[in-house]
Amino acid sequence: MKEITNLIAYRPDVRVIDATLRDGGLVNDFYFNDDFVKALYQTNLKAGVDYMEFGYKASKEMFDVKKFGKWKFSSDEDIRAIVGENDTDLKIAVMADVGRTDYKTDIIDKADSPIDLIRVATYLNTIPEAVDMIEDAYRKGYEVSCNIMAISNAQEGDLRAALEILGKTPVDVFYIVDSYGALYPEQVARLADLYLDIANKYDKKVGIHAHNNQQLAFANTIEAVGDGVDWLDATYSSMGRGAGNCAMELLLGFLRNPKYKEYPAIQFIDEYMNRLKAEGTVWGYDLQYLMTGLLNQHPRTAIQFTKEKRTDYAEFYREVVAQD
């Protein structure tokens, strides 16, 4: 059992990262209007959130800028139009996907950028390129984190090897990423032990990015924070791909550091997130995501089911079991 003081005191090293624009952008192809983004920025400031992730630094060679909103590409100019010089305690992050980012050209020196943190996202089989990207971002003056995605079906040996490689880079934070929403809290506890073991050896921090396929995104996040994981991703109203993420409004209510405030989160949801939903943007826990999570499958079939507005859940269950 965890320390009885954990729920009453707090660990000052905890950092809350708002991933609404980035993971939520996967739901609406990054079409957020500026009013929304400005209100989100103000909300994060008031709520005491530590980092705001704006979106991806996606390659304009690979992705058609006419087919996505601007936060797919998150140019420094577009970020500056929202945050100005960002003379605040809220730091700015973007995500850079291995193989989908022209990082050598599109990520400029930190001295000339409003961005503070580059979040490198990788699969286990692309760790060497992730290392290149980490070193590039570090040389340019950024904080750097690394998300190893889809680990719920990774071999522990491979994961350990990857973390050992990352430990020797200048990365600041390793992320546990439950891309499929397949992990139970007990498994998160074991992964946190594994990650922290190597993180402590190399003086790194550990983070968690959870998905809500089994209504466990919040539970897995607070399990992890109880285990010593410091960097916590959340999104307002859980907005994120498929079943969405750990809800910011749940996480802020749980954390005991007085700098975190619940009311600005409630206000933002009331005014902005609920409007997105009312206008027809669809995300969040539903039976099709439970099924892919339970079977530890990529959520793409469930996302397709949602897009097609199918409601034949029993038939979908037969399909995903057949594909298992």
Site residues (CB under 8 A) for a second copy? 1-2, 4, 6-7, 184-187, 189-190, 193, 212, 214-219, 222-223, 226, 247, 249-250, 253-254, 262-263, 266-267, 269-271, 274, 287, 290-291, 294, 311-314, 317, 321
Q: Which is nearer to a second copy, 122 or 214 (CB)?
A: 214
State the nearest-atom distance from the C-beta of 150 to a second copy, in Å. 19
Q: Are 208 and 173 in contact (CB under 8 A)?
A: no
State the nearest-atom distance from the C-beta of 6 to a second copy, in Å. 6
Dihedral pair phi/psi, residue 233, rounded to 5°: -85, 140
Beta-sheet strands, E only, within 75-183 = 91-97, 117-122, 143-148, 173-177
Q: Which is nearer to a second copy, 63 or 184 (CB)?
A: 184
Q: Which is nearer to a second copy, 69 or 284 (CB)?
A: 284
State the nearest-atom distance from the C-beta of 255 to a second copy, in Å. 12
Q: Which is nearer to a second copy, 145 or 214 (CB)?
A: 214
Distance CA 93, CA 119 (A): 7
Q: Which is nearer to a second copy, 104 or 256 (CB)?
A: 256
3-state secondary structure of 247: strand
Dihedral pair phi/psi, residue 109, rounded to 5°: -60, 140
State the nearest-atom distance from the C-beta of 267 to a second copy, in Å. 5
Q: Are 47 and 55 in contact (CB under 8 A)?
A: no
State the nearest-atom distance from the C-beta of 98 to a second copy, in Å. 31
Nearest to 69 by CA among 39, 28, 98, 35: 28
